[in-house]
């Protein structure tokens, strides 16, 4: 099937899922959303809201009991999941869960070896990926003996080397120091605009979510809102908000005459300046 540029790259239709059929409670129920190519979508929600389960479904690790998932023109099922996984990669929260190689470069090359990529090309890809995450100097190190944040960067490099169309990040930045986090976010932004990379990031970092194109809020397995950061943060009041929103709410509480909706940093400064 040819992918029409107007078709969404990911389309999730009416998906419901429960881990144990004996349980009446659904981990996810009636999830509907779509993602356009080159879009950055953040998924937020508390522990246990179903975020990681949703990631598992997008990857074909779990089969939903109802509904369908279409990715890059393929409807996700047992036959198509390998085709889809060539185009999509995931970085998990705890990088220890995905190391295989005995050196950093072996580990990054592992995915490429599985694709039977010629050696010279593979070497280039590994070189580029390790530079993107600033871990080239550690290419001969044993990945299991790196620090938490370094491991996370290697795991991300392993994925970038595959040059996927869709990048799924399941809290992949939690162990990074703020500078590495910012650098990586910048790198991903660049890849997004240059190669139309689609990014789905599951995160608890509201400031990271605020910089995405759209936010999906999960609550107890259902989508409670979906929209631009501005729309979402003005509506979801019981959520840990980005910094400017916290400040706005405190000022409001103290009886100041602040606007009633979420403001980005620029808008906030503008308003203070008025």
Partner 1 sequence: MAMEIRYSNVSADYQLGPIRTKNVLDDVNLFVKPSSFTAIVGQTGAGKSSLLKVMNGLIRPKQGEVKIGKYSVSSNNDPTSLKEVRKRIGMVFQFPESQLFAETVEKDICFGPLNFGVGLSEAKEMAKTAIYQVGLDASFLPKSPFSLSGGQKRRVAIAGILAMKPDILILDEPGAGLDPTGKQEILSLIASWNKNNKLTTLMVTHEMDDVAKFAEDVIVMEKGKIIFHDDVRTFFADLNQIQSWNLDIPEARRFQLLIEEKTGVSLPKICLTVEELADCLIEVGLA
Residues 6+ apart with CB under 8 A from 105: 126, 130, 139, 140
Q: Which is nearer to partner 1, 121 or 261 (CB)?
A: 261
| Smallest separation (angstroms) from partner 1 to the CB of 210 | 11
**DSSP per-residue string spanning 251-262:** HHHTT----SS-
Nearest-approach distance from CB 249 to partner 1, in angstroms: 9
Q: Quote the CA–CA distance of 205 and 169 in Å, as a whole number.
A: 13
C-beta closer to partner 1: residue 39 or 208 = 208
- Cβ-based nearer residue to partner 1, 105 or 171: 171
> Which stretch of DSSP H or E encloses residue 88?
strand 88-91
Q: Which is nearer to partner 1, 51 or 214 (CB)?
A: 51
d(CA 14, CA 32) in angstroms, rounded, equals 5
Pick 94 or 163: Cβ nearer partner 1: 94
CB of 20 to partner 1, least distance (A): 11
> What Rg, from alpha-carbon coordinates, does the chain have?
20
Q: Which distant-in-sequence residues (6+ apart) come within 8 Å of 48 by Cβ? A: none
What lies within 8 Å, CB to CB, of 123 at 6+ separation is: none
Between residues 16 and 46, which has the closer beta carbon with respect to partner 1? 46
Instruction: Give 75 or 134: the residue with its C-beta nearer to partner 1.
Output: 134
Q: Minimum CB separation from partner 1 for residue 251, in Å?
A: 5
Token reading at 268:
């906030």
CB of 157 to partner 1, least distance (A): 14
- Residue of 194, 137, 133, 181 whose CA lies nearest to 161: 133
| 220 Rama sector, left if φ>0, alpha if ψ -120 to 50, beta otherwise | left
Shortest Å distance, C-beta 70 to partner 1: 29
Residues binding partner 1 (CB under 8 A): 45-48, 93-94, 96, 145-150, 152-153, 171, 174-181, 204, 206-207, 240, 243-244, 246-247, 250-251, 254, 256, 258, 265, 268-269, 272-273
Nearest distance, CB of residue 174 and partner 1, angstroms = 5
- The residue among 264, 223, 267, 180 whose CA lies nearest residue 41 is 223
């Amino acid at each position: 099937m040819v992918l029409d540029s107007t078709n969404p790259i990911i389309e999730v239709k009416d998906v419901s899922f429960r881990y144990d059929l004996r349980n009446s409670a659904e981990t996810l129920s009636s999830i509907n959303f779509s993602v356009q190519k080159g879009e950055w979508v953040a998924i937020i929600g508390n522990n246990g809201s179903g975020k990681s389960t949703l990631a598992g479904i997008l990857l074909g690790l779990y089969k939903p009991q109802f509904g369908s998932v279409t990715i890059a023109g393929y409807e996700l099922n047992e036959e198509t999941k390998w085709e889809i996984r060539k185009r999509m990669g995931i970085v998990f929260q705890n990088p220890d869960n995905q190391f295989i190689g005995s050196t950093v470069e072996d580990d990054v090359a592992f995915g490429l070896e599985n694709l039977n990529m010629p050696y010279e090309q593979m070497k280039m890809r590994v070189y580029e990926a390790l530079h993107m995450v600033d871990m080239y100097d550690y290419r001969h190190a044993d990945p299991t003996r790196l620090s938490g944040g370094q491991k996370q960067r290697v795991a991300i490099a392993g994925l970038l080397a595959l040059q996927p169309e869709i990048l799924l990040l399941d809290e992949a930045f939690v162990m990074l120091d703020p500078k590495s986090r910012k650098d990586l976010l910048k790198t991903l932004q660049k890849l997004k605009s240059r190669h139309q990379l689609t990014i789905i990031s599951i995160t608890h970092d509201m400031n990271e979510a605020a910089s995405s194109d759209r936010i999906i809020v999960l609550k107890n397995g259902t989508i409670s809102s979906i929209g631009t950061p501005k729309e979402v943060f003005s509506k979801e009041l019981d959520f840990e908000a980005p910094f400017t929103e916290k400040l706005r709410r405190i000022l409001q509480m103290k009886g100041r005459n602040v606007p009633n909706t979420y403001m980005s940093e620029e808008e906030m400064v503008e308003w203070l300046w008025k």
